[in-house]
Structure 1
Amino acid sequence: MPLPYPTELIRSLEFIADVCNRRRAGALQTAADLRAVCGEWRFPGADAATEADAAATWAHLPAVETMWDADRDTVAVAVNGIFDRTAARPRLVQHDGLDWHLHGLPPTAPLADAIAVDAAMALADLVRVDDLARCSRCADDRCERMFVDLSRNRSRRFCSTTCQSRTNVAAFRRRHG
């Protein structure tokens, strides 16, 4: 049985996790990198992203990461802060083959604000249904990657099978060392 969340919500959460993970890993440094990741995720408005747009986006990411790890009340306050700072004005849109979904800002808004508002709106949906546990971090001590736990019982602990295997092998070696 699939999760009761719209596809666009899951895409927004996975997009922001990917952006934050790539930035932290050093794979997202330039405007070209930002244009590429936005293109991969079909995030609109990034075709002409400049270095200033990239810098503004990087400036928003720590707040987004803080929300990813925070409790429900803290996330609610942070979401409202982003909405206030960006003058978010949600509207229903269709584009790129996607059905009706919400965008928080008009297409002419700065890309960095659009990314931050998109993340805030997705997290706001999880606050409303009290399901922020879907926003997880990898349980491997050597990895801090963010991921969206889409398991039915919110039991996923690792961002990838690589981290899961590495952790299991290390535990095996400790037990049998």
Structure 2
Amino acid sequence: MTFTPDTIEALESSVHLANSALAPDTLTTIEALQEFYVRFAYTGAAPTAADLEPVRAIRPRLRALFVADRDGAVTLVNAILAEQGAVPQLTRHGDTDWHIHATTDDRPIHERILVETAMAMIDVIRADEMSRFGRCAAEDCDGVVIDLSRNRSRKYCSTACTNREAVAAYRARRRA
């Protein structure tokens, strides 16, 4: 299943955000939030210091969405869209061709993140692709993994976990 670029970006950014709550928390400053905003090309007003805590507060909700089963995800998506009064509209901006936004650029960033994630999850749910999400295979990590590869081979939530596990496997082979 191939997802549209805006769906992929919304999913990847939300998984990144959900995983930022793991120890060590990587979203503790406004600078970190602004870096996230730029990295994932969000539209609308740039986040301010007042946005930091509301964005931090949605991370458990995003995580719950990614670890839910398909029917559970439907319930969570519908709740987000209803709470936010989402009204899907076609839009294009920058280099991005027509795609769907379901909230306006003047809404707070945490609301935009929730709605964009919910809209992206609609594609995942309709395509019956919830298996694209999982938990990190590293023993000491509880991160969420999004695997958009063709062969569905991604096991780790980050390069750090991938490298740590590779080093551990290498050391284990050397001892054997």
Q: Would you say same fold, with TM above 0.5? A: yes
- Unpaired runs of 5+ residues, structure 1, are none
Over aligned residues, Cα RMSD in angstroms?
2.0
Identify the residue that residue 168 of structure 1 maps to in structure 2.
169
Identify the residue that residue 41 of structure 1 maps to in structure 2.
40
- Unpaired runs of 5+ residues, structure 2, are none
Secondary structure of 2:20 counterpart: helix
- Report 1:47-126 matches (<5 A): 47=46, 49-126=47-124
Secondary structure of 1:62 counterpart: helix
Identify the residue that residue 140 of structure 2 maps to in structure 1.
142
Asked whether the equivalents of residues 27 and 33 of structure 2 are also in contact (C-alpha less than 8 Å), the reply is yes
CA distance 1:12–1:167, change in 2 (3 Å)? farther
Percent of counterpart pairs with the same letter? 33
Asked whether the equivalents of residues 42 and 96 of structure 1 are also in contact (C-alpha less than 8 Å), the reply is no
Q: TM-score, normalised by structure 2?
A: 0.87
Identify the residue that residue 127 of structure 1 maps to in structure 2.
125
Per-residue deviation, 1:135: 1.8
1:51-107 CA deviation, whole Å, 9 max, x = no partner? 332211111111110110110000000000111111111111111211111112011
CA distance 1:139–1:166, change in 2 (3 Å)? farther
Rounded to whole Å, the distance in 1 between the matches of 2:60 and 2:36 is 18
Per-residue deviation, 1:10: 1.0
Rounded to whole Å, the distance in 1 between the matches of 2:61 and 2:14 is 12
Asked whether the equivalents of residues 51 and 109 of structure 2 are also in contact (C-alpha less than 8 Å), the reply is yes
Rounded to whole Å, the distance in 1 between the matches of 2:114 and 2:76 is 11
Q: TM-score, normalised by structure 1?
A: 0.86
Asked whether the equivalents of residues 88 and 117 of structure 1 are also in contact (C-alpha less than 8 Å), the reply is yes
1:15-69 CA deviation, whole Å, 9 max, x = no partner? 111222234332211233212211111111242x223322111111111101101
Rounded to whole Å, the distance in 1 between the matches of 2:8 and 2:165 is 23
Count of residue pairs the alignment pairs up: 172
Which stretch shifts more, 136-145 or 69-78? 136-145
Rounded to whole Å, the distance in 1 between the matches of 2:168 and 2:102 is 39
Rounded to whole Å, the distance in 1 between the matches of 2:45 and 2:35 is 9
Identify the residue that residue 18 of structure 2 maps to in structure 1.
20
Per-residue deviation, 1:167: 5.0
Rounded to whole Å, the distance in 1 between the matches of 2:135 and 2:26 is 19
